Amino acid sequence: MKRELIEKLNNRTALIGIVGLGYVGIPLSISYANSGYKVIGFDIDQSKIDYISAGETYIKHIPDSEIQCLVDNGFEATIDFSRASEVDALILCVPTPLDQHREPDLSFVLDTTDSLLPYIRKGQVMSLESTTYPGTTDEELKPRIESTGLKVGKDVFLVYSPEREDPGNENFTTQTIPKVCGGDNEACQEVGMALYGQVINKVVSVSSTRAAEMTKLLENIHRAVNIGLVNEMKIVADKMGIDIYEVIDAAATKPFGFVPYYPGPGLGGHCIPIDPFYLTWKAREYGINTRFIELAGEVNSNMPEWVVSKVVQGLNAHKKSINGSRILMLGIAYKKNVDDMRESPSVEIMQMMQNVGADVEYSDNYVPVFPKMRRYSFNLESVSLDADVLKQYDCVVIGTNHDDFDYSLILENARLIVDARGVYRGRYENVINA
């Protein structure tokens, strides 16, 4: 069984199933299709299926041409999970958010797995790519699979290989980013390496699914902790009248022992604000308090409040109250040049300002209409910028530094700018660095 599956994966005759057609699943589908594999994509959202089938994108940084090429290569998108029995590999790319108590929400992973169970057959490999705590693959997925009577490592194969997508980063692609892979056992590991070996330039083998799960968490916790450090340094530097960006740039000239991280309005996206809590939750099972990680999370979570305090400070200097002021948020995606709004600190800042009476609007070409969100509700559309429009607002807040903003136009026409992204280096009368 193992030998036959590895042979099909290596000669690219295996049929690949990608479950979850979002920011991870679509690029992965493109990579497999471009490498010569036939791919079927699964999702529960019919609108996504309709977009793809028409050769159109619903993710701004992935152009229509790539979706059309994907379809031309034979890609099929479906909501029919019974077709999972046709594929040789099932790669799960579904969300792993936090619940309202900031504890891991595995419902997407577990519900998806349960939906696939009736159609899993001998000779298949399942790979989980969703970020999660160590133990998820062997504690949750493996028992479910083996409840069907199939033996993992003999009849079917199970691996964990965390996604490493960086949406909007033109320097790296799914193919060029090294990929970590850990199998439930040695046989699973061999199959996992074959699954990704023809598509990814470098596949890094680790000893277990738990090691792979921990690797993903370490990567993102490393970033969260260092961003928390530099955000705290920003506050200290601000109180001392020091430009933190000048300090970071100077420190970065050291050729060893220092990696520059830059402050911002808080953490956003599907990984960095969420992943540390997966480890802290699991660590409690072992009687461990992850104080260092939780402190960084506290610092980063407080950054939107810091930005709002800078807005209040700036308006006060203009003898205005935030209550009743017209404020324009520039950029509501969680990072520059993407349309992903998950955990965006800009939206949290908007909500905080609205709560104290501000009249808040936004401008973001990547998000033309404010979408439905679980925690926020704004009936707004993106404002088009020109000189006259900018002059109408009491304050402009730079929350996401998209490249398509005309920052010279903004600087020349905005009465007050609160810059939470370090766009304007140096000193300007109408700019407050936040």
Residues 418 and 310: their CA atoms lie apart, in Å, by: 7
Partnered with residue 126 across adjacent β-strands are 90, 158
Q: Which residue in the block uniquely carries the two structure tokens 């057959």?
A: 121
Taking the CA atoms of the chain, what radius of gyration do you get in angstroms? 23
Phi, psi (degrees; rounded to nearest 5) at 375: -100, -15
Sequence-ordered strand ranges (E) for 177-237: 179-183, 203-206
Do residues 227 and 264 touch, judged by C-beta distance below 8 A? Answer: yes
Q: Which residue in the block uniquely carries the two structure tokens 């083996």?
A: 146
Crossing angle of the two packed helices 275-285 and 291-301, in degrees rounded to 10: 150
Which of 93, 188, 271, 395 is catalytic? The answer is 271
Residues 106 and 227: their CA atoms lie apart, in Å, by: 26
Count the neighbouring beta carbons within 10 Å of the beta carbon of residue 429. Answer: 5
Residues 94 and 92: their CA atoms lie apart, in Å, by: 6
Q: Is 271 a catalytic residue?
A: yes
Strands 157-160 and 179-183: antiparallel
Active-site positions read: 271
